[in-house]
A = this chain, B = another copy of it.
Amino acid sequence: MKIYLAGPDVFLPDAIEIGRQKAAICAAHGLTGLYPLDNIVDLTAPDASRQIFCGNEAMMDEADAIIANLTPFRGAGADPGTVYELGYMAGRRKFCLAYCNDGAAYADRVGRFMAVTSEDGRLVDALGLTIEDFGLVDNLMMIHALELHGCPLVTPAEQPVDLWHDLAAFETCVRMAAARLIAT
């Protein structure tokens, strides 16, 4: 059974090593991890970004499931590139799993970046835009997609010291994927 390994992990300085570790955890549970950087792309080609897209989409189409890293990326919420992939896999009716190494509620996270105020009963950000305030860890579309198209989002009981390298919550996802995919 093949799992697409989505996440902003590909932007880490040690992106290749993290992919190797994730694939090894998958293998230990009888699964095959497919990591975007496994695709060979000539980064100097004029269509490099399109080659990356096509490689990722082919991997997703080949995979039975996705494990997405929704740890906040450059702001209060998950990496949009990763979220696109989660949506794509839900649309393809693949099995959807994800983890987030920051278990804080989304509304609290927004407060780390800007003033959050209350206006006519709505929680609003510095620009007056409503902040989703359902006590969820991120936008409700991802949170409920996981519940309804796979397994609920995994967050660590305690926030890890290294948000980007701690793979305990990832391994929980792998275990859940193995229980589901190998049984069926």
Contacts and interface: CB of A to CB of B under 8 A. Distances in A.
B89 A53 contact: no
Copies in the complex: 2
Contacts of A13: 119, 124, 128-130
A69 to B, nearest CB: 12
A172 interface: no
Of the candidates A86, A113, A119, the one having the most CB atoms from chain B within 10 angstroms of its own CB is A86
Interface residues of A, number: 57
Interface in A58-84: 73-81, 83-84
A168 interface: no
A179 interface: no
Contacts of A83: 80, 83-84, 87
